[in-house]
Amino acid sequence: MPPASRTWTVDSIPDQSGRLAVVTGANSGIGQVTAETLARRGAHVVLACRSPERGRAALDRLLAAAPGARAEVRRLDLGDLASIRAFADGWDHDRLDLLVNNAGVAMVPFARTADGFESQFGINHLGTFALTGLLLPHLAASPGARVVTVSSEGQRFARLDFDNLDAERGFRTTVAYGQSKRANLYFATELQRRADAAGLPLRSMAVAPGLTRTNVLTGGANSRRGRLYRTLIRSLMRLAFRPTPEGAKTSLYAATVADLPGGSYVVPDGPFQLRGEPVPRHGERAQLDTGTARRLWDLSEKLTGVPFLPWDHGGAGRPLP
């Protein structure tokens, strides 16, 4: 792994004026910090949130912290393909420069999405896959579009079991979570390969935030686990996890560093990729496993009903290989 830049901080982010960005799950945690930082630097940021109320509250906080920022909130539920299609169908800007696929769930009890998928696989991977595919024509309208997908350091310990990706043969929450985050890395890398093959001027990156204090382990479905679980997790996060702005660094690095090549995997440079400064990593096993990536891609198209048919910068449509 190359050494991390000791000079890069969020203050290194260049002016983002004129850039149009979507950040999913922007009402809390890493997504909120990512959206607010991009808006402070001048980007027009769309906060894509499942709850309109929490989205509006996040927008109010953003505008209070960055008066005059250009930002808006739109409803998006990655656990519902109809909501994803409505979000994409309602896109009324002339392009999209940056999509940060940040929203997700972690270590939740067994549940199924509105479309019947196991929730971690359905939200973290299939929802992200469908949203990116449906927004791809708008990304293709930007000469310098980027897609940043938030994976996890936990993906390194996962392997995709295609016979049980959707909890067909039993459910273990840690296994399901690890597989969904591994799928994020396969997706981000395969998207870059296919964009390159199609001549699409797009850069796709994956990131791992490291151990970060967010509500992903305590909110949503995890809020129903009981007081003991919440107390233990909050104590662990206070002791071992980094503040949320530190966890957002890899997303912001991938979204804004000018010469970062497509296909990069940006991780903290510390032990086990759990903390430290952002650095691009290449040669991760999932980045090199093209066979599994293609198989997952084909399955994802089938399950979501979203084929990737991008347009090149000149506007001529041609399917990805």
Would you please indicate which residues are annotated as catalytic (active-site) residues?
Answer: 177
Nearest-angstrom CA–CA distance, 28 and 49: 9
Nearest-angstrom CA–CA distance, 151 and 122: 14
Where do we find the tokens 């922007």? Answer: 26
Nearest-angstrom CA–CA distance, 272 and 153: 8
Q: Collapsing DSSP states into helix, strand and coil, what is residue 71?
A: strand
Alpha helix (H) residue ranges in 141-284: 173-198, 227-240, 244-247, 249-256
CA angle 103, 61, 257 (to 5 degrees): 55
Where do we find the tokens 């032990």? Answer: 271
User: Any residues with CB less than 8 A from the CB of 166 and at least 6 apart, and which?
Assistant: 117, 118, 121, 122
CA angle 71, 44, 74 (to 5 degrees): 45
In eight-state DSSP terms, residue 273 is G
